[in-house]
Every structure is written in C-alpha cells, then in structure tokens.
Amino acid sequence: MSGAAVSFRGVSKRYGPVDALADFDLEVKPGEFMTFLGPSGSGKTTALNVLAGFTHATAGEVMIDGRSVGGLPPEQRNVGMVFQSYSLFPHMNVFENVAFPLRLRGVAKAEVARRVGESLDMVRLADLGGRMPKELSGGQRQRVAFARAVVFEPPVLLMDEPLGALDLKLRQAMQLEIKRYHAQLGCTIVFVTHDQGEALALSDRIAVMGEGRIAQVDTPDRIYDYPKSRYVAEFIGKTNILTLEPGNAGAVRIVELGCDVPAQGALAEARMISVRPEKIERAAGRREGLIDFTARIDEVLFLGDLVHYSAVLPGGGALLFQEHRGPGATVLARGDTIELGFLLSDALPVSGREAAATAVGA
C-alpha cells in the first residue's frame, strides 16, 4: 500500500457568520505524515471533517490522489479514520470490528480472516479477536481502532486526536507505535492534535492552525526554530517574546531589557523577537556578541537533567530560561541575582499581536 496526495485548494467552511475554515490551501505529499496542530476552534477538525466527507466545504476543492472528492459521501472516499473516542462498535467483537470495512467491500470470507489477522498482528492483538470492546483497555481499544482503519489499505489515513484519551505513558508508547505503523504501511496520514509535543514527535510536516487559517506549514524543526509569528512561536514549545522599539541612531531598543542592539537585517523591521528558553545562558563567560542583562530568579523547576527557571527582569517582566546540568553547574535558588545573556542570532523576529506579557508556554 502506498499513500495518495491530498490537496486542499481554497477551502472555506462558514457556520453562519463564523469562518470555521478560511481559504485553506495545503498540499500533502503521498506517504507524508501531516499534522494539523492547533487549539480547539482553530479549524483543524473542520479541515479533517471536510476531508472525510462529514462536512461539505462552503467553497474550494478537496482532492485525493488528484481526484476531486467534494461530491463524494464518506464511504466512497476510501480513507481510513481513527476517532478520538475510538468509536469501536460495542455490539461487535474485535474481529468483527476490524472485519467491518472488509465485509462492506465484499471481500471473500477467507480473505477477510487473513487480512484481519494481519492487521491484528500488526497491532499485536492477534489473540484478542473474540473480545468485546468493553473488555479491552484504552490502549488496546486504540490499537483495534487503528487496525480497523487500515485493514482495507486506504491510501489516506485520518487520525482525530487519537491519543487524547490515553494517559501520558501510554500516549508516548502509542506515538512510537504509530510511527512504526506509518513506516510499515506507507500511507498518507493526516493527523489532528492540539498537543505540540505529539506533533513534533510524529510529523513529517506540521500545519499550525489558528482561527480557521494556516499560520505556518513546515517541518517540525523549522517550525520550532523559525516560527514566523508570535502565535506559532508560543504554540510550539516555550518562548520569550520581547518587544522592540526604535532606539538611538542605527539601533533598536529591547524594551523589557532596557538595552539597545544594532538594527541589522530583519531586526530593523521587527516589532517583536522570540527567544527560546534554552538559548538563554549565564553571562559569566562574557561570550562575544552576547546581549546581557541582570535578572532575579523567581521560580525553579528541577527536572533532573534539566532545570527550568523563571526570572524577573529589571523592567518587571518575566523571562523563562533553562539549563542542562553540565559538569559542575550549580543550581540557582529563588532570589538569586544573576547575569544572563543570549546571542542576537538566536533572537528571531516574529510578527503578531504585541502584548505586555512576555512568556507563554504551550
């Protein structure tokens, strides 16, 4: 089985005055793992429902494998789907649940048994074919739902917050499983989640969504390293947003730090910069080019290999930074005053709304 391309061309969905999805353009490559990431109400589920055929777009075109599917009911789109609540049929046992799409497609009895067996093998539930859904654990149900969604080898697999109902440990285990299935099956996966960690871990590319629009589409590392907007920067990982204003001749002023920096390149035009917490370090070494400032430690979150700090800036704002515990590194305490700094090259100009708050974690 191989994946099919999925295209959204100018897709909009209006509910009365509300744009659930506006001018949605996206090309998903065959076999790609594409994640729609965003908070609730961002349009990610609407986009998925339009693709599955549960909702009809108000405008635009959806194509699977180059064929427009806008006029097709869900059952004719030949996509697999895994639901957040699993949606296993409670009156059928595991085998019958997985066999369901095959029986609808008129697959011969022996073939049904073989393919259901293969699918259950893949999700390591070969022995549980006779169980009823209510007799399974959450993780097992999730795997049955997956087996059912792929047993008929759909070129496109849709997953709607599939791990949302699982606890953290199970979720991490299932992420690895899903990666394995994807490698094994090669189908195109469109995955919807509000969990940025999940998105970063699984995806080939991520479409960050907000207010019915795509904020940015890119690979996980580029989304993380080069967020285009404050919205993306804040949604993916943790970051510090600092405000810029025109400073003395040829310089811009970082308002929260009260220092001027040279207005080189993009900084000249920018209103805000984003600095990731891990890019901020103790400034004791006086490294070349480091923008340094004094801050007072307010909160300490000790994670073993990592330490997260929240510090108060002289101007009153707060700043997040984190350190790996290298050899001989001391852990700072609440109330300590410390010199911090970051490289200007790690300060990324971002667009978006300005606000007094500086640090937001997603």
**Position 238 contacts other proteins (CB under 8 A):** no
* Residue closer to other proteins (CB basis): 77 or 171: 77
**Position 52 contacts other proteins (CB under 8 A):** yes
Collapsed DSSP state (helix, strand, coil) of residue 227: coil
**What angle is formed at CA 259 by the lines to CA 253 and CA 260, rounded to 5 degrees?**
50
**Position 162 contacts other proteins (CB under 8 A):** no
Contact 10, 70 (CB under 8 A): no
Contact 260, 253 (CB under 8 A): yes
In the DSSP assignment, the letter for residue 351 is B
* Residue closer to other proteins (CB basis): 107 or 208: 107
CB of 188 to other proteins, least distance (A): 15
How many other β-carbons are positioned within 10 Å of the β-carbon of residue 225? Answer: 14
**Position 96 contacts other proteins (CB under 8 A):** yes
Question: How many chain residues interact with other proteins (CB under 8 A)?
Answer: 27
**Position 71 contacts other proteins (CB under 8 A):** no
Contact 359, 318 (CB under 8 A): yes
* Residue closer to other proteins (CB basis): 73 or 327: 73
CB of 101 to other proteins, least distance (A): 4
Tell me which stretch binds other proteins (CB under 8 A): 21-29, 64-72, 80-88, 165-173: 80-88
Collapsed DSSP state (helix, strand, coil) of residue 247: coil
**Position 219 contacts other proteins (CB under 8 A):** no
CB of 71 to other proteins, least distance (A): 15
**Position 149 contacts other proteins (CB under 8 A):** yes
Rounded Cα–Cα distance for residues 236 and 334 (Å): 27
According to CB under 8 A, which one of 31, 80, 212, 277 is a site residue for other proteins? Answer: 80
Instruction: Please state the three-class secondary structure of 82-124 as a single string.
Output: ECCCCCCCCCCCHHHHHHHHHHHCCCCHHHHHHHHHHHHHHCC
Any alpha helices (H) in the chain, and if so which ranges?
44-52, 94-104, 109-122, 138-150, 168-185, 196-202, 220-225, 230-235
**Position 104 contacts other proteins (CB under 8 A):** yes
**Position 99 contacts other proteins (CB under 8 A):** no
Rounded Cα–Cα distance for residues 184 and 177 (Å): 10
According to CB under 8 A, which one of 1, 41, 83, 271 is a site residue for other proteins? Answer: 83
**Position 91 contacts other proteins (CB under 8 A):** yes
Tell me which stretch binds other proteins (CB under 8 A): 35-43, 96-104, 116-124, 286-294: 96-104
**What is the Cβ-side half-sphere exposure of residue 257, based on CA atoms within 13 angstroms?**
24
Tell me which stretch binds other proteins (CB under 8 A): 86-94, 180-188, 246-254, 302-310: 86-94
Rounded Cα–Cα distance for residues 144 and 129 (Å): 9
Tell me which stretch binds other proteins (CB under 8 A): 38-46, 89-97, 165-173, 262-270: 89-97
At 331, list the tokens. Answer: 């852990």
Binding stretches for other proteins (CB under 8 A): 52-54, 73-75, 77-81, 83, 85, 87, 89-92, 96, 100-101, 104-105, 148-149, 152, 158
